[in-house]
Amino acid sequence: MREKLEKLFRGRQGMDELSKLLFWCGVGGFALALVLPGALRVLLTAFSTMLLALAFLRAFSRDLPQREAENLLLLRRREKRKRERAAAKDRRTHRREYKYFKCPGCGTWLRVPRGKGKIHINCRCGYTLYRRT
Span 87-94, average pLDDT? 94
Average pLDDT (74-84) is 95
Count other C-beta atoms under 10 Å from residue 99's C-beta. 20
Mark whether 70 and 32 lie in a shared domain. yes
DSSP string of the chain? -HHHHHHHHTT-----HHHHHHHHHHHHHHHHHTTS-HHHHHHHHHHHHHHHHHHHHHHT---HHHHHHHHHHHHHHHHHHHHHHHHHHHHHHTTTTEEEEE-TTT--EEEEETT--EEEEE-TTS-EEEEE-
Residues 19 and 79 in one domain: yes
Residues 6+ apart with CB under 8 A from 97: 113, 114
Separation of alpha carbons 30 and 47, rounded Å: 9
The residue-averaged pLDDT of 2-10 equals 79
**Residues 85 and 103 both lie in one domain:** no
- Share the mean pLDDT of the chain: 90
74 lies in the same domain as 100: no
Which pLDDT score is estimated for 38? 85
What would the pLDDT profile of 13-49 be if each residue is shown by its tens digit?
Answer: 788 899 999 999 999 999 999 998 888 999 999 999 9
Q: Give the range of the structural domain holding residue 30, as residue numbers without chain letter.
A: 13-90
* Residue 110 resides in a domain: yes
Distance CA 39, CA 55 (A): 24
Together in a domain, 85 and 30: yes
- The DSSP symbol for 132 reads E
